Amino acid sequence: MHQKPCFAATSMAFLPHRDLGKAVETIVENFPEAPCLPVLSRNIKHMLEGIPCVEFDREKKQVYLDPSPDRENEILEFYNRVENNDLDAFATSEKVAPGFYALLERLKTDPPAGLKWVAFQTAGPVLMGDILKQQDGTSAFYHETLRDILIKGVNLKSRWLEKKIREEVPGVEVIAGLPETTLVSFTSAGGTGSRENIIKAINNGFEGLSGPNWVHCCANIDWSLLTRANVDVINFDAYQHTDKVTMYHEEFRPYLERGGMLAWGIVPVTDEAVSQVTVKGLVDIIEKGIENFAEKGIDRSLLAEASWIMPCCDANLMSVENAERAFAMTREISEIMRYHYGFSDGG
């Protein structure tokens, strides 16, 4: 069993900051218990190191996967590294992810009081298959070989990241975040995703990790896809979808009882929305959600212990000022909820 958050606060990885030092201090200030390694760019290169068959079309500004016969040696080398459990072949370099290394150095040399977790975020295998399309524009997830490559590549990169964090910051739990923001496109009425393949891909993406794992999905989906997968933390957009999520109480009850956790993505991450909401109004949304779950038979104290507080998605499209406002609100909501449920004295 992993440590229960009891309304601890954390965030997703992508930030709008360009000042690396400022980004690191913002994360440590607002999420001292559970900082997430930051990404200060919309570039996805930090997800791709170690993945074969990657092609960059600079004219179209697209990245796709090419499994053509002339890539056979590249694919064979990839599977050889997988077979040999060569985690270093999937390392994330400082060149493509300077924020990872900057925060790890800060945590190593001057850890904040109460540090318990360090989170990292890459992309889940289903999302990777949707980001990295085939040359004809279809999702790479639908190609059997490419799907297997993405699942194994995501897994080994996640295992390398967990190992790296444990080496640099001993004693913390490492949270592996593999968001699946496009699940709705596979599971909607017009979707073509196989439920079995999706759950298997999610499970295999996390295989071999020892810390808690976390899946973010900001759309409203069939949440049983995640409650029935081997997912420790389900992160949903509580700002927009709390009422819809609580309708799945029959799925969430056994999930929580076997140790699952929920991350309430409560603070909106658009400049317009964050300027219009209040901490009290957002707390009220969470309280209503907890009440709805409790009315359906979910133990209130069990749910409270298993709850995280987060912004509802990445903040990289916000202004720096508003992103920092969103993070400060997240921290304040965490403090209020902890006090209300007896997890702190409010000091």
Domain boundaries, the chain: 20-340
Q: What is the pLDDT of residue 187?
A: 60
Is residue 204 within 8 Å of residue 125, measured between CB atoms?
yes
Give the whole-angstrom CA distance, residue 279 versus residue 23.
23
Residues 6+ apart with CB under 8 A from 50: 78, 81, 89, 90, 91, 153, 156, 157
Write out the chain in H/E/C secondary structure: CCCCCCCCECCCCECCCCCHHHHHHHHHHHCCCCCECCECCCCCHHHHCCCCCEEEECCCCEEEECCCHHHHHHHHHHHHHHHCCCHHHHCCCCCCCHHHHHHHHHHHHCCCCCCCEEEEECCCHHHHHHHCEECCCCEHHHCHHHHHHHHHHHHHHHHHHHHHHHHHCCCCEEEEECCCCCHHHHHCCCCCCCHHHHHHHHHHHCCCCCCCEEEEECCCCCCHHHHCCCCCEEEECHHHHHHHHHCCHHHHHHHHHCCCEEEEEEECCCHHHHCCCCHHHHHHHHHHHHHHHHHCCCCHHHHHHCEEEEECCCCCCCCHHHHHHHHHHHHHHHHHHHHHCCCCCCC
Is residue 310 within 8 Å of residue 11, measured between CB atoms?
yes
Amino acid at 267: V
Q: What is the pLDDT of residue 300?
A: 97
The CATH number of the domain covering residues in 20-340 = 3.20.20.210
The low-confidence residues of the chain, meaning pLDDT below 50, are 189-191
Q: How far from the centroid of its chain's Cα atoms is residue 23's Cα?
A: 18
**Longest CA span, the chain:** 64
Q: What is the pLDDT of residue 70?
A: 93
Give the tens place of pLDDT for each residue, 167-219: 999 999 999 999 999 998 766 544 455 788 899 999 999 999 999 999 999 88
Give the whole-angstrom CA distance, residue 177 versus residue 186.
20
Q: What is the pLDDT of residue 272?
A: 97
